[in-house]
Structure 1
Amino acid sequence: MSGVKVLAVAVGVLTLAGCDKPNLPEPARDWAKAVTWDEPGRRFLFDGRPAPIVRVWDFERVGDAEGFTPLNAQMTPARGQGLVLINGPDPGLRSPDDLEIDGRESALLLVRLTRRQATASWDGTVFHQTRWHGESEKFAHRLPQAPAVGGATVLVYLMGSSPAGGGDWTASRIKRLRIDLEGDGGETVIHQIALAQAPF
């Protein structure tokens, strides 16, 4: 198991009763310790156990973008590395527009990356899109703490508990994601992206 760094956003909690309660993670939990990347097994772990993954894109293994497209960045898929992004102003990465992910069963978004070259500004925002709405600040999930430069880091977004759009996430089928990392410039490698159930 690698000693990969993990950053997590744990904000807000949606309280629902009985059988209507979605698969939400525990906001107070220390996700920086709970989530790790198992390099030999090529999988995410929660507390040392295989994570209940709903969908995963392992760009590092396949050396292909798998339908993801860059925004204001030059992207090179590379086997053994991932998606290498040379960023311009306000860069980002968009998923395919046909994910059809059940938000209730996909409470966590995991993004494993390496910042090769940092910038003065960090964005760290993920937008989700459904058939009913496009990208909007109303549906923006933020991780304000910038990862360190050089080592691989797992960003953990608690999508269903976000104060901006968490309720919409759990009530919807997710069509597309947009991930904005650097504020302006820099170089980033996206190794894996995964959607997972809360591990309990």
Structure 2
Amino acid sequence: MRKWWLALLVLAALPAPSQAKQQVWKFDRLDRIGGLATQVIGEPRVEGGATVFDGRDDAIYLPRHPLAGAGAFTVEAVFRPDGGAFEQRWLHLASDDPVNQTRMLFEIRVVGNSWYLDSFIKGQGYSQVLIDPSKLHPVGRWYHVAQTFDGTTYRSYVDGVLEGEANVAGFTPQGAGNTSVGVRYNRVNFFHGAVRVARFTDRALPPDRFLRKE
């Protein structure tokens, strides 16, 4: 009995598992997103709780890289691609470091009335793209997309279904920086469609813990 009680005391003294840190950005207004003041380019508009981008000159900039310092992560978003140019970047997390300019991003490639996902991470000593042109999805619909990294394997998903994965060696946490939404950070490859919400977690979440699309 004494050993049993000692074991309980040891377990009680152990620190509780750390909770995942999350940031949720809802795109239901233009002036502030995720508690951050925005820089708005062009004339994006809010419709039905989402921000709509025209694919020509609309974008939003936010003064934070929400996954700076994370050794593992999940980036999720609910978005609607509406066709347009072949190459469109709609979420770009960039560090401020002029020597080691790291980034995480989502792009799409549009082919006729369909699109396919392009997920990418880059930093000092690593660079990995996940893209499969054979995995086409119709434009004009809402989708949940995610990319995760568990410290070893980088994965991408559309509506909870795995689209690609690769081992990434030498990953180091990215530095503080900024985010562009609706465009590549240097204001090219504008996005035509809408973004409803994005969530950033400093853990690799399984699909059953992803955001709900609706």
The TM-score, its normalising length taken from structure 1, stands at: 0.50
Q: Secondary structure at the match of 1:178?
A: strand
Aligned partner of 1:114: which letter?
R
Q: Secondary structure at the match of 1:103?
A: coil
Aligned partners of 1:92 and 1:180 also within 8 Å: yes
Flag the structure with higher helix content: 1
Matched, 1:192 2:197: yes
Aligned to 2:27: 59
Aligned partner of 1:190: which letter?
V
Rounded to whole Å, the distance in 2 between the matches of 1:129 and 1:158 is 17
Aligned to 1:123: 88
Aligned to 1:94: 61
Alpha-carbon deviation of 1:188?
1.2
> In the comparison of the two structures, how many residue pairs are matched?
140
Alpha-carbon deviation of 1:82?
1.3
Q: Deviations over 1:42-95 (max 9, x none)?
A: xxxxxxxxxx561001224x6754234455x421234x3311212216x65432
Aligned partners of 2:23 and 2:66 also within 8 Å: no
Rounded to whole Å, the distance in 2 between the matches of 1:135 and 1:124 is 21
Aligned partners of 2:23 and 2:199 also within 8 Å: yes
Structure 2 gaps, min length 5: 1-19, 109-115, 118-136, 156-165, 207-214
Structure 1 gaps, min length 5: 1-51
Aligned to 2:180: 178
Aligned partners of 1:96 and 1:176 also within 8 Å: yes
Q: Deviations over 1:114-170 (max 9, x none)?
A: 12x31141334644323423895x63545552553222111213367488x9956x4
CA shift in 2, pair 1:98/1:113, >3 Å:
closer
CA shift in 2, pair 1:93/1:158, >3 Å:
farther
CA shift in 2, pair 1:103/1:70, >3 Å:
farther
Rounded to whole Å, the distance in 1 between the matches of 2:38 and 2:90 is 16
Aligned partner of 1:74: which letter?
E
Aligned partners of 1:81 and 1:189 also within 8 Å: no
Q: Secondary structure at the match of 2:84?
A: coil
Aligned to 2:103: 139
CA shift in 2, pair 1:54/1:190, >3 Å:
same
Alpha-carbon deviation of 1:108?
1.5
Rounded to whole Å, the distance in 1 between the matches of 2:52 and 2:169 is 30
Alpha-carbon deviation of 1:171?
2.0
Aligned partners of 1:129 and 1:135 also within 8 Å: no
Aligned partner of 1:119: which letter?
G
Q: Secondary structure at the match of 2:145?
A: strand
Paired residues for 1:27-42 under 5 Å: none
Report the structure number with the largest CA radius of gyration: 2
- Selected match of 1:150 from 122, 134, 140: 140
The TM-score, its normalising length taken from structure 2, stands at: 0.48
Rounded to whole Å, the distance in 1 between the matches of 2:179 and 2:92 is 6
Residue identity over aligned pairs, in percent, reads 10
Aligned partner of 2:196: which letter?
H
Alpha-carbon deviation of 1:99?
4.7
Q: Secondary structure at the match of 1:84?
A: strand
Q: Secondary structure at the match of 2:71?
A: helix
